[in-house]
Amino acid sequence: MSFIKKITNNEMVDISLLSIEELDILHYEEEAFVAEQVLKLLPFSKERELLLKTGYDLVFKILNERQRKEKRVIHRNGVTHNNVNILCALIKNKIKANERDVVLFEAGAGSGFAINRVLKKCNSPKLFIKACDICISDNLRRIENQFLNVELKQMGLYQSLKELSDNSVDIFYADNVIEHLIPDESGIIFSEIAKKLKPDGFVLLIIPNKHLGPGDISMKFLPFGEKARGFHFMELSFNEITKIMNKYNVHHIACAFRISKEKGFIIKSKYLVKIKLKLENFYKKIPNKFIRRCMFAFGGYTISIMKIKKVM
């Protein structure tokens, strides 16, 4: 037996007795309800923080039960090998170029997939990893206990950023996290990200493109193109995240292209970035769902590789 307490009506449910379809329905109903209530609460309030954590805890229990029934691993934050390979390439270049320590900050470390792969592929005495998540998994705790250069904070992104010193982060990494920001809090958080970056700091963001949404649990219940009703409060287009980050002097420096979830390639070109921005306006009008998804996937329209320009 595996009982949970529904947030919608406080009813106790044994999720071990539910089918996969019933688990999806429960997931959607609870997540949509919590998301609606969260938007009514004050920005950065304790009430909002507590409700969100309660909602995420419940959803993770449902996902874990779903994973048990399907007998497969579900990465909590949608991370893929290709995304982490890009991250590792940035880290290796930073370590090679810098005599000083290199600080990686991961927002929403999830199951620890990215950190574990980084430690295997490019661990170095120079590398120091800081990460936060609203719920720290047992796997992440094991990694922290095993490696002295890993520091975890069980808290939201804003609270974790506030604890960092300005100009202290070489690479800010967020894979399927930014879409979980709440619009009335996002401006302050983006500003904090820019403040924490060193003058030559990089930002690697992976965000479900809004033109392929909804991308959260809503996708199983809402028509293609509808606004997400779950915890994806802020799905963005490639153009939108570009404009937002430009406000904080963080600019695209390269374009990523995907071959598969495991492989891809990067081309550093400001001109190609401009072309890619314009092409998005064309791709978003493609009526065929499958073709549009293919164009956005190969074009890497979920991946943003950026660098800050600071005057020190």
Mean pLDDT taken over the chain? 93
How confident is residue 312, by pLDDT bands cut at 50, 70 and 90? low
Name residue 191's amino acid.
S
- Would the pLDDT of 18 be above 90? yes
Predicted local distance difference test score (pLDDT) of residue 73? 58
Q: CA–CA separation, 253 vs 84, rounded Å?
A: 18
- Would the pLDDT of 263 be above 90? no
* Element of type H or E holding 129: strand 127-133
Predicted local distance difference test score (pLDDT) of residue 183? 97
Answer for the pair 200, 93: CB distance below 8 angstroms, yes or no.
Answer: no
- Would the pLDDT of 97 be above 90? no
- Would the pLDDT of 237 be above 60? yes
* Element of type H or E holding 303: strand 303-308
- Would the pLDDT of 302 be above 60? yes
Instruction: Please compute the mean of the pLDDT values over residues 240-266 and round it to a whole number.
Output: 92
Q: CA–CA separation, 22 vs 15, rounded Å?
A: 9
How confident is residue 34, by pLDDT bands cut at 50, 70 and 90? very high
Token pair in block for residue 117: 């792969």
- pLDDT tens digits for 146-173? 999 999 999 999 999 999 999 999 999 9
How confident is residue 78, by pLDDT bands cut at 50, 70 and 90? low
Predicted local distance difference test score (pLDDT) of residue 74? 53
CA–centroid distance for 77 within its chain? 6
- pLDDT tens digits for 135-152? 888 888 999 999 999 999
Of 7-21, 128-142, 194-208, minimum mean pLDDT range: 128-142
What are the DSSP E strand ranges found in 141-247?
Answer: 150-154, 169-175, 197-206
- Domains, the chain, with CATH or none: 3-70 (no CATH), 82-308 (3.40.50.150)
- pLDDT tens digits for 114-139? 999 999 999 889 999 999 998 888 88
- Would the pLDDT of 72 be above 60? yes
Q: In the chain, what percentage of residues exceed pLDDT 90?
A: 84
How confident is residue 262, by pLDDT bands cut at 50, 70 and 90? confident
* Element of type H or E holding 67: helix 46-70
More confident residue, 280 or 262: 280
More confident residue, 182 or 138: 182
To the nearest 10°, report the CA torsion of 256, 105, 167, 307. Answer: 0
